Amino acid sequence: MSDVHTQPTTGAEPDAGCHLAPYTTLRLGGLATRVVTATTADEIIHAVREAGERNEKILILAGGSNVVIGDAGFPGTVVLVRSRGVQVVAEDADTVTVRVEAGEPWDDFVATTVANGWSGLECLSGIPGSTGATPIQNVGAYGQEVAETVTGVQVYDRVAGTTDRIAAADCGFMYRSSIFKYSDRWVVLSVDFRLARSPLSGPVRYAELARALGVDVGDRVPLGDARATVLRLRAGKGMVLDAADPDTWSVGSFFTNPVLDRAAYQRLRERAADIGEPPSWPGAGDTVKVSAAWLIDKAGYGKGHPGPDGAVTISTKHTLALTHRSGTARTEDLVALAREIRAGVESRFGVTLHPEPVLVNCAL
């Protein structure tokens, strides 16, 4: 195995009564009972086992970009995953398989793949968070999903007390979901990706990206061009985290695109007949995926729409992002805005929106 890059690792003593807001991209969340920083897989396992022996609740937190933590915080131990490292574990003339530690910043890893001429993740540029979170969510954007390149996930099984590798076929990958998303049984330690050795991207599948690149859907472009264009598109929607721009203090898309059966899709079309055809594309099987952003906007919740007291708002750049622009909000303010939007869309179109981030000690 050869190292692509690694960083020194150091452990840390647990902190008691630590505010969680600084560890999330929303900058929201109350106190945790204990916070432990883990910089290696062994430290992650040790922290989880130790908290389990004390019968404490455990929250695994890495980049904090896909989680909403309640104002009451978390009554247990929070393990901050800060492991780093990318290793080549297999290669041949056409492909390379790399093992990435769970705490490795995702976009840093994507930049590494592009720089090394490894194709398959370039359209996932600019997504905040850690690599270990990507299989949990089956992260996807601009026509790519990690499920297409993940070959296995190394986990600590809290039930069996063992370290195992779960093959991609057993990860239960679905649209923005997996077996890991709603279960605390498995703690992700590292992820294996098989990527193509190519200076060109995979076929461009997303029409908006193809237009921005000036190519047809299905064409391939240089990896650097694909990455730069995706970053530009995401930044234009406020989806690239910028500490200096509160309009990016969000979890990205707050709601998933609804997946409807044909009958439900036809009912939606009928209810939207006065304003136009809902943007949609084929889903798995005989289903249709509908644009949540369009539903939100057409239900009357446009860019910049304020929540209670204006403490949180819909992003001025994209209707799917709920932002903590004031820097003084509570999680309940954000949840109230999400509830308002969900109720409004359901009333107008008969479609129920579902949150994309994981909700911790709060609920819609």
CA dihedral 127, 130, 134, 137 (to 10 degrees): -90
CB 144 within 8 A of CB 202: yes
Phi and psi, residue 133, nearest 5°: -80, -20
Tokens representing residue 320 in the block: 């799917």
Q: Spell out a b/e string for 341-362, using b for 16 or more CB atoms within 10 Å of the CB, else e.
A: bbebbeebbebebebbbbebbb
Give long-range contacts, CB 8 A cutoff, 24+ apart: 104-113.
104/130, 104/131, 104/132, 105/63, 105/129, 105/130, 105/131, 106/63, 106/130, 106/131, 106/133, 106/134, 106/139, 110/227, 111/227, 112/4, 112/5, 112/86, 113/195, 113/223
| 270 has catalytic annotation | no
Residue 89 to residues 3, 9, 85, 162, Cα–Cα distance (Å)? 9, 21, 12, 22
Is-catalytic flag, 253? Answer: yes
| CA 120 – CA 138 distance, rounded (Å) | 14
| Catalytic option among 119, 130, 253, 315 | 253
Q: How far apart are CA 203 and CA 206, in angstroms?
A: 9
Q: Which residues pair with 141 in a beta bridge?
A: 144
The pair of structure tokens assigned to 311 is 């403490």
176 has catalytic annotation: yes
Cα–Cα nearest to 48, from 131, 161, 192: 161
Q: Give φ, ψ of 200 to 5 degrees.
A: -110, 150
Catalytic residue among 82, 99, 176, 194: 176
Task: Give catalytic residue positions.
Answer: 176, 253, 356
